[in-house]
Amino acid sequence: MDGNRRWAKRNNLPSVMGHPKGAETLTEIVKAALDLRIKILTVFAFSTENWGRSNEEITDVMNLFSIYLKKQLKFMIERKISLNVIGDLKKCPLFLQNDFNDTIEKT
């Protein structure tokens, strides 16, 4: 997921506003993948370079991840989507680690 901040800038919005748009786009990508019967979809959502962003932006993104996971859980379960995480969640806040682990367990 790249370009969220650029999208916001092009639309004269604060850069942090690009991340919710990226989440909406991800939902559309997942739906399209289901329609196309794609079995495995890999999403790169937060790289090690992203930890160099401002604390405010990192916090906003972590909160958005949490909201997104909770909002999409029913959708994932109904469509038999399994979530797996590639990478290290240990740097993430505990609440987000728990949200990811809960979603992984339920899907």
Structure tokens given for 84: 């797996």
Which of the four pLDDT bands, split at 50, 70 and 90, describes residue 76? very high
* C-beta separation of 50 from 67 below 8 A: no
| Topology of domain 4-106, CATH | Undecaprenyl pyrophosphate synthetase (3.40.1180)
Q: What do you get for the CA distance between the two ends of the chain, in Å?
A: 22
The catalytic residue positions are 2, 50
Calpha distance 41→29 (Å, rounded):
9
* C-beta separation of 88 from 95 below 8 A: no
Tens digits of per-residue pLDDT, 36-52? Answer: 999 999 999 898 998 99
Which of the four pLDDT bands, split at 50, 70 and 90, describes residue 1? low
Amino acid at 64: L
Whether the per-residue pLDDT at 102 is higher than 70: the answer is: yes
pLDDT at 13 (0 to 100): 76
Structure tokens given for 74: 């029913």
- Residue spans per domain, the chain: 4-106
